[in-house]
Amino acid sequence: MILVTGANGQLGQCFRQLADQNPNVYFYFAGSSELDISNKRMVRKFFDQHPVSWCINCAAYTAVDQAQKEPAVARKINISGVKNLAEACSPQGIPLIHFSTDYVYHTKQNTPFKEDDPVSPKGIYARTKRSGERAALLANPNTMVIRTSWVYSEFAHNFVKTMLRLGRERSNLNVVYDQIGTPTYAPDLAAAVLDIIRKAETEAVPPYLLAGIWHYSNEGVTSWYDFAKAIFEIKNIPCAVQPIESKAYPTPAMRPHFSLMDKSKIRTAFGLQIPHWRESLLRCLEKLD
């Protein structure tokens, strides 16, 4: 059984789609009402009562700016909750796949980050996500941490859906151009994870290889400004986009100015074909129609 926590969030709903397309794979989808990962007793009881073979943790506190006002809540989910899952998985040798963020990269660098490059998380969200990584890896040696970036899909709130709404409401928008990275289409990430699980179960790759930190986003590089421009161009939305510096749009939490991640490790180890971000954006916009 593949347990998916945080099943009602953006990434969790992408795994639900995959379940519909893979009827031979048994998934158990748990939202916060079915499984509150911050409740250690509830987590232990769930694992005692269910035959979990894989745990995919999509539960997270992702309100980056709100985390500055709610540090205790962010820690409860992003650190304690992750640790609870890892500790429940460990005695039974259950692999835990946990998602982290490019926000851990706040160092001044202009080449793609590799998994072993130094990190310097700034702000509550980034720090709790980094602490959650450490807690999971320490509690369960069979933990796979996947750092991802700029996640969007047809589900929940995200940049693409916000731009579509604002672009139709306004004649012009200001979007920051000095934050560089790569968007991640959540269905691509979910499909990659399921592919990795299949290969581990069929021993196409040894299961122990999964442990540690990995990067996954779509291929290519862009800025939020260019991302917004691409959305409007593809959809023929006549909204003018003006590039602005981050300092012109201050936010409670700092964003990385450069968080481009090197995906060669995950691509090589698991033989993944990772689509370019613009190709995936086209697919998303077609589905949103």
Closest to 197 (Cα-Cα) out of 153, 144, 156: 144
- With beta carbons less than 8 A apart as the criterion, state whether 118 and 127 touch: no
Give SS3 for 143.
Answer: strand
Alpha carbon distance 99, 262 (integer Å): 16
User: 125 catalytic, yes or no?
Assistant: yes
Give SS3 for 100.
Answer: strand
Using only C-alpha atoms, the chain has a radius of gyration, in whole angstroms, of 19
Question: In sequence order, what are the residues at sequence separation of 6 or more whose Cβ sits closer than 8 angstroms to the Cβ of residue 251?
Answer: 64, 65
| Partners of 2 in beta bridges | 27, 54
How many C-beta neighbours within 10 Å does residue 173 have? 17
State the number of CA atoms in the 13 A half-sphere of 261 facing the CB. 30
Buried b (16+ CB within 10 A) or exposed e, 97-130: bbbbbbbbbbeeeeebbebeeebebebbbbbbbb
Q: Which of 125, 152, 177, 216 is catalytic?
A: 125
Q: Which two tokens stand for residue 57?
A: 């943790």
- With beta carbons less than 8 A apart as the criterion, state whether 177 and 222 touch: no
Alpha carbon distance 1, 252 (integer Å): 40
Alpha carbon distance 281, 57 (integer Å): 24
Report, as residue numbers or ranges, the catalytic residues: 125
